[in-house]
Structure 1
Amino acid sequence: MADQVAKQSADAEAPSAWAKRLARWRGVWEQSVPRRCVTRALEIQITDRMMALAAQAFLALMPLVIVLAAAAPQGVSDGLVDAMRTRAGLGDSDTTENVESIASSAAEAGVTAFGSLLVLLSATSFSRALQRVYERTWRVAPGGLRSAWRPLAWIVGMIAYFVLLGFTFKITHSGGPLTVIRVGIAVCGSIALWWWTPFVLLSGRVRWRALVPTALCTALGTMGLGVVSARYVPHLLSTNESRYGTIGVAFAIESWLVVLFAVVLAATVLGAVLVDTRGRLGVWARGAVEHDGWQRTPKSGKFAAWTEDAHGDGTDKTSDEARDGTPGQAPGEASGKAPETPADGEEDPGVAQR
């Protein structure tokens, strides 16, 4: 009787089949890539970051594009406006004509070296914000003073990219077979840009191979957004412009920038999570079997902040061999002290043990 009661009690306490399945599914979800992407996105506060990046891009990058269009040759300037029509979906609206008139007015008035330098330095506020987002997404410490020049270098690289893009759109404007060349150059340029961007802003602490998923995801996302923008953004701009005037156009462009950086940050999170994943997917993403194989030590030396982040605390953790000496070397030799010898009449402890 007692055994039967104990058996019934054990059967009642044992989890049911549905409970086991639920626990198994929960474990699979906890280790899945979507769940880890959501966790990483919440960790970097993706909503606040994409809003901040959109605002800084509107205030910092747009003046830089206008100055660049004014200072560039006529062909490159026309190509930049054409690229804005294609990528941002501006079309042939009054807003595009206003941008062209502003650029032509600035070109006629002349762009001073001081004004260009001021716009360039103000644009680094955006690149610094983007750098902080990449560092938080990849969970690395700030680079410090050694990487202070990298946001400015990224802005210079972006200027070169804009010039190349404008020149490409100018020489392939006639259509036909040149359209295929334009699309190919635009795709390759987008992949190269988003492959080079995290490498520079992360101070070279992530291997090139590990940044391939981020570059591919970001390039595909931004190009897909460009296709959608070309269809819907012109209608949105014209509607806002007719209803609210210039302020409505500003709101529409700001909204488009928010969506753009939502795509960029989502692709960045996905790339970082894939690299940090264990198993075959993670090995393919980071290009190494080791879980920390995505890490890279810059040629200029290891950052102190990078070392602290890798160890989890600020202490200098050296190995026992580094503290006591090299392998095969006695502790006394590593510390520079001569080994102690037994005094006269005393027996060597090692001999006594033998």
Structure 2
Amino acid sequence: MAPSTEPATTDDADGTNEDESALEAKMRAVLHHLPSWVQLLSAWLLSRWPGRIVINGLESFVRLDMFDRSMTVAAQFFTSVFPILILFATWAAKSDADRLGHAVSLPDETQSVLQDAVQGDGSASFGILGTLLVLASATSLSRALARAFAAIWDIPTPKSKLASVWRWLAVVLGLTLALVLARTVSDSVRILPPRDVWPFLVSFGLDVAVALMVPWLLLAGAVRARILIPGAVCFALLMLTVRPATAAWLPHALEVSADRYGPIGVAFTYLACLYTASLCFLASAVLGQVIATDRGGLGQWIHGPEEAKESNDHSAEVASKDS
């Protein structure tokens, strides 16, 4: 169940515990047919925090169709962020456009598209109306992410209204800026000693900020930032492994795709990379939600002492009524 974010309300602790107990009961029924040593080990895991996190995390991931949602987000990211990058390139100087292409690992064949855009008249390529259309269509990414995060936290999707437009624009522009800064800032701090530490620290901090800002903005503060921190930290830790692997694979894959299939090959390669990033982003959010709503001590600490006390009082009140 989603954590309560209003001071006067409490978590539905009993409903959460009942769901977890039902799931654990099903797992124990399955384990009953396994060897005894497997049963003992599994029972020990199910009664402790790591087991609960793994089981509830996998159940939520499958139930919410995160594979399908990740593909939707990846496609929306491709059709939302890259047009904004091209828009920025038409306004930039040639050197800035070259750095922009380097930041997103564009191959030489695709880099020429940016150069052609820069050589033309930016105001003629993207007038006021064209800029507004690009930004308006880019907000589809924000709306797709809003639906995904609302499903993860089991809350109603925020209504689409004019007052929400600034949140959608802030998210899509923030993601575009983060895509560029992740590479450029890491390269800039690499000269500082120790050279191998600063890029990781910068990437970690940027990933935490993005994973914390995006759901908080899109859900209009319905979930407190404190409760979103576990998912943000999980995403940053995961990207410490995924980002170096992507940096090693992506440039070569883009060059091969461009040589064999041209621009369409580059597009499909980027989609594969974006799908991986989207899957990590949403999976981390699911894991963070499971950690934050767990009935153990860590989950109560994440909620804060006052909300944990209110939840315990509510559970005691329900128990007394049942008795």
| Same fold by TM-score greater than 0.5 | yes
1:208 to 198, 202, 225: 225
Matched, 1:111 2:102: no
Once superposed, what is the RMSD of the aligned Cα atoms? 3.5
In the TM superposition, residue 204 of structure 1 has moved relative to its aligned partner by 0.1
Q: 1:270 to 1:23 in 2, by over 3 A?
A: same
CA distance in 1, matches of 2:60, 2:76: 23
Which deviations, in whole Å up to 9, do the C-alpha atoms of 1:168-214 show, x marking residues without a partner?
479x38x5228676654443233212211111111101112111111
User: Cα gap change, 1:267/1:226 in structure 2, threshold over 3 Å: closer, same or farther?
Assistant: same
Return 5+ residue gaps in structure 2 as ranges.
Answer: 1-31, 312-323
TM-score, normalization by structure 2: 0.71
Report what 1:62 is aligned to.
82
Q: Which amino acid aligns with 1:129?
A: A
TM-score, L = length of structure 1: 0.65
8 Å Cα contact 2:258/2:266 also seen in 1 = yes
Equivalent runs, 1:100-179 vs 2, <5 Å: 100-105=114-119, 108=122, 109-145=124-160, 148-149=164-165, 150-158=167-175, 161=178, 168=185, 172=188, 176-177=191-192
User: Which among 205, 219, 243 is matched to residue 236 of structure 2?
Assistant: 219
Paired with 1:126 and 1:271, the residues of 2 have a C-alpha distance of 21
Give the partner amino acid of 2:156.
A
Residue correspondence of structure 1 range 318-337 to structure 2 within 5 A: none
Unaligned runs of 5+ in 1: 1-14, 295-354
1:269 matched to 2:286? The reply is: yes
Matched residue, 1:232 = 249
Aligned to 1:53: 73
With over 3 angstroms needed to count, the CA separation of the structure-2 counterparts of 1:118 and 1:226, relative to structure 1, is: same
Is the contact between residue 79 and residue 165 of structure 1 (CA under 8 Å) also seen in structure 2? no
Following superposition, the deviation at residue 230 of structure 1 comes to 1.2
Question: Distance in 2 between the 1:177 and 1:167 partners?
Answer: 14
Contact 1:79 1:166 survives alignment (8 Å): no
Q: CA deviation at 1:290?
A: 4.0
Higher-RCO chain (CA-CA 8 Å, sequence separation at least 6): 2
Residues 134 and 198 of structure 1 are in contact (CA less than 8 Å); yes or no, is this contact kept in structure 2? yes
Amino acid at match of 2:148: V
Aligned pair count reads 272
**Matches of 2:291 and 2:275 in 1, distance apart?**
24
- Residues 225-257 of structure 1: CA deviation (Å, up to 9, x unaligned): 221111111222222223222222211111111
The question of whether the paired residues in 2 share the 8 Å contact of 1:76 and 1:166 is answered with: no
Higher helix share: 2
Most deviating of 244-253 and 215-224:
215-224
Q: Separation in 2 of the partners of 1:201 and 1:270? A: 19
Query: How far does the alpha carbon of each residue in 1:90-124 deviate from its partner, in whole angstroms, 9 at most, with x for none?
Result: 5xx32452353254245555421111111000000
Aligned with residue 256 of structure 1, among 251, 270, 273: 273
**Conservation of the 8 A alpha-carbon contact between 2:64 and 2:151:** yes
Larger-Rg structure? 1
Corresponding residue of 1:80: 100
3-state secondary structure, aligned to 1:214 = helix
Determine if contact 1:82/1:169 at 8 Å carries over to the other structure: no
Deviation at 1:140, TM superposition (A): 0.8
